[in-house]
Structures are given as C-alpha cells and as structure tokens.
Amino acid sequence: MGKIVAGVGSSHVPSIGVAFDQKAQQDPEWRPLFDGYKPAKAWLKEIGVTHAIVIYNDHGTDFFFDKYPTFAMGAAEEYPIGDEGWGVRDLPAVKGDIDLSWHLANSLVKESEFDLTICQEMVMDHGLLVPMPLLFDHEPDWSVKTIPFSVNVLRHPLPTPLRLWKLGRALRKAVETYPEDARVVVVGTGGLSHQLHGERFGHMNEAWDNEFLDKIEEDPESLLEIPHDEWMERGGAESVEMMMWLGMRGALTSKVNKIHRNYYMPMLTGMGITVLEDEQSAPAA
C-alpha cells in the first residue's frame, strides 16, 4: 500500500543548480546552503523513500503565459531535462511511474474534484531539478521515481493557499489508496523571500522567512487565509510561490515531527529547507 513517509519544503533557486553543477559546494558562500541539505538526504535514504511527488512551478520551460494550467501532473515513464538558456544540465532524465501517476490522477479528479492537466510529455526545469540532486542519489540514475506536479503561481488568477492545502489532503488520500508498495515523500518547492524585478528588486525579508518556516511546521492553517498581495508584500512578488509548501504540509498530519531545518540568506533570496514527518499518534485533519 502507498504511504506518505515524509514532507520536504525546499527552495528552488536556479543559482543553486548552477553552483551544484560547477562543484562549488565547498565554496564559502555556498557551503552553508549545501551542508544544510546533507542531513535531509541521508534521512530520506535511511527511511527508504521510493517515490517523490514534487510540487513546483514551471518557469517558461514547458508552459508559458499563452497556456499555463492551474494544476498539471506528469504521467510518463521519464521526463527530459530542459534547457533554460545555459545548456542542459548533466543529470539523468527524471524517472516517472505511470501506474502511480494515473492512480493519483483518477483519485484527484474523480474523488477530490481537482481539475488537472495530465501530461504524458513534460520537460523539467529548475523548479523541480534544483532540489532533486540535493535530496536523492542520481548517479548513475535516480534513486526514486518522481511525479512532477506543476502549479501556476505566475499568471493571475492564482490558486489560493487554501486550495494548495486541499491539494495536499487530496494527495494523501490518493497515495493511501494506491494498492502497490510506495514510500512517498511530498516535496513542496519555491521561495523563500525574493523579488527579481521592479523598484523592489532584491527585496528580502529574513524575519518573514523564519516566521513562515515556524508556521509551516507548527501552525500551517494560519497561512491559509493570507491573500496573494500580502504574500508578495511581505516576501517580494515572486515569493508567492511559497504557497506550494502548503501542498506538502497538507499531505501530513496536523501535528508533525521536525527532522531537520536549515535557513540561509547569502544573496538575492532567502533559501530554506525543512523536513517533516507525521506525528505518529496524530490522525490527519
């Protein structure tokens, strides 16, 4: 039977991928970030994760403003690495699981009334690819099978924080009715605070980032009624993608155990990771 064994929230800043590919993990400006992922990767390997559902946003690699679905999920054997302008990263194609994908699709659409765009071809960009090699082995191939789940957090109207929370709940229901063995981690990506255009270019908010990390662990439902403009005011325009962490958090029990957390603000954005598991005695809300 399927089981959600962990939730991970992670930034997906593209420069992290560039630094990783350039083997800059030990450089002084990058080491605090990369060292912060090592305990997460070791723990996920220890608990035997077999599948990752990664909630991310595409940045114009596969979808663009002429057609950008609110929710799009992959249903393919593998997903190629996209070229975002600096060449295709030296990573193996992301491995999929068609059977699990179609089970999730049927459950989400028929039972939870989520209208999905189901993609039998998808190209991956940094929204998914930045955290993947920091969390899972990938040489010579990925140690997990991945279900990419793209969310529109770019073109208004955007789904609400509450809608992302309900998505997490629906994903949990779907995974738990999967008849095959699957030890699943749900990864919510995005942020943290950053703005990359306009008069507020370079805006960051360390206090809000840490408040968010506290709340995603201890009081996630307090984040559900925050309107989009307030997310953007606090964290910068692009930080609204932090909502995607609520898709991860909604898939866990109301109370959770924190396994690991790291925060770093070296340059144009706050960068964070949190690793959570169900509090074993707590039922899902």
Which residues are marked as active site? 126, 194
CA distances from 159 to 199, 234, 247 (A): 26, 18, 11
With residue 132 as reference, give the H or E element that holds it.
helix 132-135
**CA separation for the pair 218, 225 (Å, rounded):** 16
Three-state DSSP at 282 gives coil
Distance, CA of 205 to CA of 191 (rounded, Å): 11
Query: CB under 8 Å to 77, separation ≥6 — which residues?
Result: 95, 96, 98
Cβ–Cβ under 8 Å, residues 45 and 87: no
DSSP designation for 64? B
